[in-house]
Amino acid sequence: MKEKTVGQKWIVGVILAILGLIFILPLVWMILSSFKTESELFTIPPTVFPKHFTWDNFNKLFTSFNFAQYLKNTLIIVLFSFFGMFLNAMAAYGFAKFKFKGKNFLFFIVLATMMIPGQVTMIPVYLIMNSLGLTNTMAGIILPGLVGAFGIFLFRQFISTISTEILEAARLDGASEWFIFWHIVIPICKPILAVQGILTFIAGWNSFLWPLIMANDDKYYTLSVGLSLLKGQYASNYALQMAGSTFMVVPIIIIFMMFQKYILQGFNVSGMK
Amino acid sequence: MTKFFNKRAPYLFVSPAILLLLMFSIIPILIAFVISFTDMSLNGLADFSLIKFVGVANYVKVFQDPIFVKALGNTVFYVIIGVPLVIVCSLGLALLINFGQNKVFSFFRLVFYSPSITNVVAVAVVWAYLYNPQFGLFNYLLKLIGLQPVPWLQDPIVAKISLILLALWRAIGVNMIIFLAALQGIPKAYYEAAELDGANARQRLFHITIPMLKFATFFVSVTTLIGWIQFFEEPFVMTQGGPLDSTTSLALFIYRNGFQLSKFGYAAAGSFVLFVIIILVTLLQFRIQRKQEETEL
């Protein structure tokens, strides 16, 4: 094959650089604006770098608003979704490495839930939670999203590739099924756990619609719900809004940069080729 | 004890997940179906005996509801403009990035992927600021190059396009990665053979690359389509469906009726209409895909 010329590479590189700049412009503008004073955002022409660099907007999120509580709730959700990830892995192990009655039917049910859109289930799940007295509680927010068919499916694909002989050998040595799962299967699952772990973290950190429906009380809001409220109530205080957005987006970007290798590989692990 | 556990192991492993899925996915869909034929509302929530069976009245009413019809039209608009844009843009970027295989190009991969992991509420808040007609960055940049300001979120048509732009910005990353993975799976030998036969770059693109990306394109179009039919957060945070319901999507219509107006039965009927649309569109896509494969054979 003819080598691509250096000139061609440069042209493509420059096009990508321009597009890339446009792409991250909103995020850069968000971060810059979050350090400006409220009045500076209303100057024409707008300033690029903050004239009076200030942390005030961030301070306000925690003093005038309940962002510390929102952060705590969000982290609780993240923590439990990691627990949910292990439930997914457990179910996946059951489906991948055992023969049992009703297995195909049960797995079909799991896959079928992938097809059901959230809009259809949100009303009945709300009614179920209401009759259980779980609306406006942390349990009500956490439980419905704990497990997911997609996660089970990906784990099962991966666990199916583990050799059954290793598991049989452990069984002959008298290891319990739980021991095999926890000390053999889970360690082998590291690559997929990394991918799933990051995706789980991002999903938990970003959870919005369900907490919005379940929580009537400031005390159970997540960061996303708090931020959308802030936008509703302080529509013209853009500096504050940008600080709130920066606070939500920047940690995720940092985590992503740290673990990007795993995330981008994950598309290969999940067989998306 | 251990023996008891080992015997029932598979059931014990799958049961927590299965129970949760039953409780929060399977049973709810049955409940949704039943209540879509009732006048379930806040009164019914307090006392189940007040719920009346109303037959298909909700379904009839929903199609006569001007806001529902408008939401349906808006959703069609989002899908028709949004889905092709996502496919073309993410494929285009993937081709550009695939052009060079060095550090710089993999850095670009990160840049274009980053919007898709950001929080949708946070970026909707940011874009609402960028779209501000007086103080927003976008209109300022337009003025710099001598263009008229755009009423980003104020004009019914422009507002829809503005929301699409935001969603497009977030959607490109994931799909670009899927296309990239597929591109890297195409055997180099194909290109070498084509080149020996004198095929130019354009012919190689249309006769090797794009046909070889068939599965990836199909996957991206199905998932993107389903995603856009359920378009929700962007209009919810940025415009609340306005101006004059010109950005209200079906999902927003369902949310509003269910949780702001507490018309659970009515909203459930709306959600089933949405469900049926998703199923029909997905089936249609699978059929088109199969047709294409048959004609090639």
Ranges A37-51, A164-178, B167-181: which has the least confidence: A37-51
In this structure, is residue B244 part of a structural domain?
Answer: yes
Q: Which residues of A touch B8 (CB under 8 A)?
A: none
Residue B223 touches partner A, C-beta closer than 8 Å: no
Alpha carbons within 13 A on the beta-carbon side of A258: 8
CA distance B215 to chain A (A): 9
Mean pLDDT of A169-197: 89
Q: Say if residue A266's pLDDT is above 80.
A: no
CA A88, distance to chain mean position in Å, is 15
Assign a CATH topology to domain A65-233.
MetI-like fold (1.10.3720)
Is the pLDDT at B137 greater than 80? The verdict is: yes
> Quick check: is B258 in a domain?
yes
B267 located within any domain: yes
Tell me the C-alpha distance between B246 and B74, whole Å. 7
| Collapsed DSSP state (helix, strand, coil) of residue A113 | helix
Q: What is the pLDDT of residue A272?
A: 43
Instruction: Give the type of residue at A36.
Output: K
pLDDT at position B2, please? 63
What residues in B contact A253, CB-CB < 8 Å?
Answer: 114, 117-118
pLDDT at A269 over 50: no
Residue B240 has pLDDT above 50, yes or no: yes
Q: Looking at beta carbons, which residues of chain B come within 8 Å of A33?
A: 129
CA distances from A199 to A174, A206, A254, A255 (A): 35, 11, 14, 11
Of the pLDDT bands very low, low, confident and very high (cuts 50, 70, 90), residue B74 is very high
A75 min Cα distance to partner chain B (Å): 15
pLDDT in tens, A234-257: 877 888 889 999 999 999 888 888
What CATH number should be reported for the domain holding residue B158?
Answer: 1.10.3720.10
In 3D space, the residue among A196, A162, A235 whose CA is nearest the CA of residue A87 turns out to be A196
pLDDT at A140: 92
Cα gap A47→B260, rounded to integer Å: 40
Nearest to A273 among B10, B121, B181 (CB): B181
Cβ distance of B140 and A143 shorter than 8 Å:
no
**Per-residue pLDDT averaged across A25-33, rounded?**
91
Is B48 a domain residue? Answer: no
Mean pLDDT of A129-139: 90
Tens of pLDDT, residue by residue over B76-94, are 999 999 999 999 999 999 9
Which member of A9, A99, A224 has the closest CB to residue B100? A9
- Give the residue from chain B lying closest to A198, CA to CA: B117
Chain B residues within 8 A of A61 when measuring between CB atoms: none
Q: Report CA torsion sign: A11, A12, A13, A19.
A: positive
Local confidence band at A10 (pLDDT 50, 70, 90 cut-offs): confident
Q: Do B275 and A44 touch (CB under 8 A)?
A: no
Residue B65 lies in a domain: yes
pLDDT for A1: 43
In a domain, B113, yes or no: yes
Domain hosting residue B198, numbered range: 59-296
Q: CA geometry: angle at A63 spanning A57 and A64, to 5°?
A: 80
Between A19, A88, A249, which is nearest B122 by CB? A249
Residue B105: what pLDDT? 79
CB contact at 8 A, B174 and B103? no
Which B residues, 12 through 71, put their C-beta within 8 Å of a C-beta on chain A? 12-14, 16-18, 20-29, 31-32, 35, 40, 45
